[in-house]
Amino acid sequence: MFSRSLFVANYFNREIKSIFGDKMPVVQVHLWEGRTEEQIKEIIEGITDVFVKTGSKPESVRVLLQDYPKTHWGMNGKPASEKK
């Protein structure tokens, strides 16, 4: 479920380490609204686990989630809410 997200997180972890060391990885995730609190918690835990596996301390990892309504997310020149 998280394979693509984990790849992206792993890539950004390397980039952050090369610039700042392992001080405070910050991952920003933009997604459509509608997930439950449990799903949000699972996403945060999954992303944090990737960073821990690549050498970060769990307490140093920051995960920021931003929910957007589909009416505020554009794809192919149209709001995602109009996608069939």
Residue-wise pLDDT tens digits, 2-20: 445 555 555 555 555 555 5
**pLDDT of 1:** 43
Delimit the domains of the chain by residue range: 3-72
User: Where does 3-72 sit in CATH, by number?
Assistant: 3.30.429.10
pLDDT of 50 above 80: yes
Alpha-carbon distance 5 to 43, whole Å? 9
Say whether 79 is catalytic: no
Contact 18, 55 (CB under 8 A): no
Alpha-carbon distance 63 to 30, whole Å? 11
User: Which tokens go with 11?
Assistant: 């890539």
**pLDDT of 82:** 93
Catalytic site residue from 25, 58, 69, 79 = 25
> How many residues comprise the chain?
84
Query: Tens digits of per-residue pLDDT, 18-46?
Result: 555 556 789 999 999 999 999 999 999 99
For 63-67, what is the mean pLDDT?
Answer: 94
DSSP E strand boundaries for the chain: 26-32, 62-68, 74-75, 78-79
